[in-house]
Structure 1
């Protein structure tokens, strides 16, 4: 029989620190929320979805009926939708989204309007784009690295 044992004295305190800090994930969830919120906000400038694909232009009907008092920016007529972008973090999760219910129509598209994604690479699956996913992993990695310092 082979018996293997380890001496964890060298890193036992680091393990305890990690374990204790992992109990409250709110700080890292807050960081993830801020990162994703910034990335989604930037899409209003780049006019691209989470996969980097450009948003479809307005239809001729939309252009013809667009209110004169709007700012003439795609998905940002009065700034209401972008202004409602927020995140909410707790000890185990983070939610990023919009306070305007019509944001759903842009995220998923409709039979009369093409999808202009903001949050998800694939809204049906609820998956992030590759760059957003990498950014979240970077936040997590930095946070975990700070735990051991």
Structure 2
């Protein structure tokens, strides 16, 4: 399997409001930037969309180290919350409905294809690729302002 590093970020002006996402895929010496936006969304949806779109851009199953500043995404995967939510018909431990089920289902499809390790990094803390992703995400939502 090819080993890829992916960096992602999402941003929103208001929550909900116009949002954007950015991703950088790094394979050996090659870098590819991806970004997109939604006119009315939430920050968490943009964080998730960045992960999904980056994974969907891979042309074959890969071993991925995915770095994000989203505790929501990292914890849901690394702590197994999303698997419990799905098993419990998308209900959280407090019996309330899980949010963003459509995106979690899409992300889980991608996680079945790729071997992904999620790594959390503190946002806005000088991490080169996190800063690039944030810039891409902000540029995307600013199209709506």
TM-score, structure 2 normalization? 0.30
Structure with higher strand content: 2
TM-score, normalised to structure 1, is 0.30
> Whose relative contact order is higher, 1 or 2, with alpha carbons under 8 Å and at least 6 apart?
2
